[in-house]
């Protein structure tokens, strides 16, 4: 039995590192082996330990959810969305005790759940419901990878967390799902409030824990200590919180969360501000609805519903046709949104979107707004017809996979213009001044039909374009000149090959090193790159099979475009730092240490001066050490150097 418990502990340890800490400590194959061994052991002995990871597969579906009365009420929070209201609230607390400090954290946008542990074992999980009575979702929650079935602490404890679906999981799910999920919040709630625990399991949810609502025999004085307790017991927590002493600090912290929210892999809809000290909280107490010691600051919505009024079919640089939905304008995350993408015709069918429907629209800072699905139909709802001919050039469209394509690559105006814009974009050749409108003028007025023509442009040509005055012309001509020396990855990206974005261009550059190697790469060679599949590899090979493409690339070279061979990016961790070495280092030779410093952007000099930043000190140092001390230069050893580079 001990052996079995050991194995269970080991797998749980790896799971914790993988799912909670994002720090895998074992390969998937090794993990599978351990798991299989455990399954075998359980089958042989007929024993399944209470914290066995095999329990996470989910039992039989329930016929109905049981009601669960919470032992400790789950209050909702007072909410505000104006900084003035937040300041007033904080002032009110400070007026009672000016030394109060605040714990500021994310306000997660998922489904709130409460979990009870007794004797270290998970005995119940329930939804918040109305705060007094929720639904028993123990079997569902047990399947979630970031919920521990067993914890070290043996007293009774009731913890609260938010069940969420990571945005990366949502998009993975939606790529293949017949019925895409409309958003991460609904997806998480739907997965937990599903009678079949196997469905919950399949959605790959996570729970982020943030509160201890009850604990036996354990003295927790502050929110910071609560957080530590949760972490020590291997609950999945988020470490992005802050202690703020002043009202200004709270405001700054909230604003920072607002700025950073779009980079997170899960939804948040605001920040929660709590008094850190628990005895202080007791003094403030509760209203009938919520605690007086916490408040939620809600950000502007990133998701709204609006009426879909029209579809425009856009032709991209690769000939791919993208349906763009025109919607009645809505305010989303601080901007007015009038258009949102529907990706492709298949997406319209999968999402069952029709003209005149009210649809959910989502916008996060960096991504183009997207239609997620239908909110409600109207009397005038009508199906969206698939188009047959290219809206730009009238060619018959071809269906490839989920997408429609115009194959009239070199004579389709919208494609030509979009290729110019793409080539000029910042992450490609960075030709400042060439954006959508200019590309269109370059094509229509100056007859630029491919990217090589850009290098024929002269001052007198550009004068013919709207809005081009002296300075703008000089800037553009300079940018064109500068673009003649370009890094391989940027060049690959600028070609606008189907399915090859910025990230894949980088990987291709890293793999093939020179433009010649890249041009001659085979499907098999490209497939060897991690994350590359047939579709991407074939797109590359197809691209170079087309003689027109080769001709344009050769023209670029004739015009003087020079593509640099790929060089490994050097780390810049020691950039602009100067080191002097003295004495024998424990593991590195002098040459090795020098190379390590230089590879990370630092400089090594032989003599000590005021300009020296660090003395790297070994055994039996020379006079340089003494001089360093005299000049007050920072002395470090090999270990510290390695730490700086990590
Ligand atoms: Zn066309």
Highest mean pLDDT among 26-30, 222-226, 287-291 belongs to 222-226
CA of 628 to the centre of ligand 1 (A): 70
Q: How far is the CA of 556 from the centre of ligand 1 (A)?
A: 24
- Residues 402-444: tens digit of each pLDDT: 899 999 999 999 999 999 999 999 999 999 878 888 999 999 9
pLDDT of residue 332: 80
CA of 405 to the centre of ligand 1 (A): 8
The whole-number pLDDT of residue 58 equals: 67
Residue 66 lies inside a defined structural domain of this protein: no
Q: Give the domain CATH number at 11.
A: 1.10.287.610
Specify whether 476 is located in the same domain as 495: no
Distance 45 CA to ligand 1 centre (A): 67
Q: Residue 76's pLDDT is what?
A: 87
d(CA 216, CA 116) in angstroms, rounded, equals 12
pLDDT of residue 266: 93
Indicate if 83 and 177 belong to the same structural domain: yes
What is the pLDDT, as a whole number, of residue 433?
79
Contacts of 104 (CB under 8 A, 6+ apart): 241, 242, 243, 244, 250, 253, 254, 257, 271, 272, 273
**354 Cα: distance to centroid of ligand 1 (angstroms):** 25
Q: Given this model, what pLDDT does residue 495 score?
A: 95
pLDDT of residue 23: 73
Of 497, 531, 564, the residue that ends a domain is 564
CB-CB contact of 341 with 326 (8 Å): no
Considering only 61-75, 126-140, 228-242, which range has the smallest mean pLDDT?
61-75
Q: Rounded to an integer, what distance in angstroms lies between the CA atom of residue 275 and that of residue 159?
A: 18
Distance (Å) from CA 312 to ligand 1 centroid: 14
CA–centroid distance, 410 to ligand 1, in Å, is 9
Q: Is residue 68 part of a domain?
A: no
Q: In which domain, by residue range, is 326 found? A: 303-405
- In this structure, are 551 and 584 located in the same domain? no
For residues 373 and 443, which has the higher predicted lDDT (pLDDT)? 443
Asked whether residue 478 falls in the same domain as residue 491, the answer is no
Segment holding 483, helix H or strand E: none
CA of 452 to the centre of ligand 1 (A): 21
Q: What is the pTM of this model?
A: 0.59
Name every residue whose Cβ is closer than 8 Å to that of residue 209 and which is 6 or more positions away in sequence.
159, 160, 161, 230, 235, 236, 237
Confidence check: pLDDT of 140 > 90: yes
* Residue 239 buriedness (CB in 10 A; 0-12 / 13-18 / 19+): exposed
What tens digit of pLDDT does each residue of 575-627 get?
Answer: 889 999 998 888 888 888 998 898 888 899 888 888 899 999 988 888 888 88
Q: Quick one: 129 and 248 in the same domain?
A: yes
Catalytic residues: 107
Residue 479 above 90 pLDDT? yes
Indicate whether 193 and 150 sit together in one domain: yes
Q: For the chain, what percent of residues have pLDDT higher than 90?
A: 60
Summarised one tens digit per residue, pLDDT across range 294-307 is 999 988 777 888 89
**Does 573 reside within a domain?**
no
- CA-based radius of gyration for the chain: 30
**Is 477 within the bounds of a domain?**
yes
The number of folded domains in the chain is 6
What's the per-residue H, E or C state across 423-456?
HHCCCCCCCCCCCHHHHHHHHHCCCCCCHHHHHH
Which of 564, 320, 560, 562 lies closest to 454 in space, CA to CA? 560
Q: Tell me the mean pLDDT in the region 130-136.
A: 90
Whether the Cβ atoms of residue 208 and residue 236 lie closer than 8 Å to each other: yes
Q: Is residue 335 part of a domain?
A: yes
CA–CA distance, 388 with 87 (Å, rounded to integer): 58
Going from the C-alpha of 132 to that of each of 11, 75, 109, 211, 378, the distances in angstroms are: 36, 9, 20, 17, 37
pLDDT value, residue 1:
58
User: Could you give the C-alpha distances from 642 to 328, 573, 599, 636, 639, in angstroms and in order?
Assistant: 57, 11, 12, 10, 5
Residues in the chain: 646
Q: Which CATH number characterizes residue 624's domain?
A: 3.40.50.10190
Residue 558 has pLDDT above 70, yes or no: yes
| Average pLDDT score, the chain | 90
Q: Are residues 137 and 284 in the same domain?
A: yes
Indicate whether 473 and 518 sit together in one domain. no
If we measure between CA atoms, which residue out of 488, 480, 486, 450 comes closest to residue 462? Answer: 480
Same domain, 329 and 383: yes
- 18-67 pLDDT, tens digit each: 777 777 777 777 788 888 899 888 888 888 888 888 877 666 777 788 99
């Amino acid at each position: 039995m001990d052996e079995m418990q050991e194995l269970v502990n080991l797998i749980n340890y790896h799971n914790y590192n993988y799912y909670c800490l994002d720090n895998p400590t074992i390969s998937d194959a090794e993990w599978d082996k351990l798991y299989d061994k455990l399954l075998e052991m359980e089958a042989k002995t007929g024993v399944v330990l209470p914290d066995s990871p095999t329990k996470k597969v989910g039992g039989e579906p329930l016929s109905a959810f049981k009601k669960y009365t919470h032992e400790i009420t789950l209050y909702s929070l007072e909410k505000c969305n104006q900084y003035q209201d937040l300041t007033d609230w904080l002032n009110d607390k400070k007026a009672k005790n000016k030394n109060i400090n605040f714990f500021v954290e994310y306000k997660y946008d998922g489904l709130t759940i409460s979990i009870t542990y007794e004797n270290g074992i998970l005995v119940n999980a329930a939804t918040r419901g109305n705060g007094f009575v929720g639904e028993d979702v123990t079997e569902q929650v047990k399947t979630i990878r970031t919920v521990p079935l067993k914890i070290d602490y043996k007293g009774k404890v009731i913890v609260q967390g938010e069940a969420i679906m990571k945005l990366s999981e949502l998009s993975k799910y939606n790529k293949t799902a017949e019925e895409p999920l409309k958003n991460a919040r609904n997806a998480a709630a739907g997965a937990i409030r599903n009678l079949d625990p196997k469905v919950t399991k399949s959605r790959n949810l996570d729970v982020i824990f943030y509160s201890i609502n009850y604990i036996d025999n354990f003295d927790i004085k502050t929110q910071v200590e609560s957080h530590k307790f949760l972490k020590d017991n291997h609950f999945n927590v988020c470490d992005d919180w802050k202690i703020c002493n002043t009202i200004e600090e709270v405001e700054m912290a909230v604003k920072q969360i607002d700025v950073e929210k779009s980079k997170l892999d899960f939804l948040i809809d605001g920040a929660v501000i709590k008094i850190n000290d628990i005895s202080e909280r007791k003094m403030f107490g509760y209203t009938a609805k919520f605690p007086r010691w916490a408040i939620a600051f809600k950000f502007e919505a990133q998701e709204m519903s609006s009426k879909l009024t029209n579809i425009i079919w856009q032709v991209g640089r690769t000939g791919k046709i993208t349906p763009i939905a025109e919607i009645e304008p809505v305010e989303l995350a601080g901007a007015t949104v009038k258009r949102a993408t529907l990706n492709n015709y298949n997406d319209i069918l999968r999402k069952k979107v029709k003209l005149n429907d009210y649809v959910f629209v989502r916008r996060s800072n960096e991504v183009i707004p997207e239609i997620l699905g239908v909110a409600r139909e109207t009397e005038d709802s009508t199906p969206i017809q698939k188009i047959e001919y290219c809206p730009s050039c009238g060619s018959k469209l071809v269906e490839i996979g989920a997408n429609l394509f115009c194959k009239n690559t070199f004579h389709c105006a919208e494609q030509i213009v979009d290729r110019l814009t793409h080539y000029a974009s910042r992450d490609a050749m960075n030709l400042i001044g060439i954006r959508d409108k200019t590309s269109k003028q370059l094509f229509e007025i100056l007859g630029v039909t491919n990217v090589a023509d850009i290098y024929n442009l002269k001052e007198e040509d550009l004068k013919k374009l709207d809005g081009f005055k002296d300075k703008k012309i000089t800037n553009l001509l300079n940018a064109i000149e500068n673009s003649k020396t370009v890094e391989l990855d940027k060049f690959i990206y600028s070609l606008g090959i189907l399915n090859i974005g910025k990230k894949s261009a980088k990987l291709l550059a890293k793999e093939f090193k020179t433009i010649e190697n890249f041009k001659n790469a085979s499907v098999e060679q490209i497939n060897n790159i991690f994350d590359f599949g047939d579709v991407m590899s074939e797109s590359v090979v197809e691209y170079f099979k087309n003689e027109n493409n080769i001709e344009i690339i050769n023209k670029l070279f004739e015009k003087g475009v020079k593509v640099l061979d790929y060089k490994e990016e050097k780390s810049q961790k020691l950039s602009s730092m100067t080191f002097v070495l003295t004495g024998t280092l424990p593991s590195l030779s002098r040459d090795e240490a020098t190379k390590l410093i230089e590879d990370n952007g630092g400089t090594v000099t032989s003599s000590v001066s005021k300009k020296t930043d660090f003395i790297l000190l070994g055994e039996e140092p020379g006079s340089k050490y003494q001089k360093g001390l005299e000049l007050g230069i920072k002395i470090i050893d090999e270990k510290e150097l390695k730490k700086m580079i990590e």
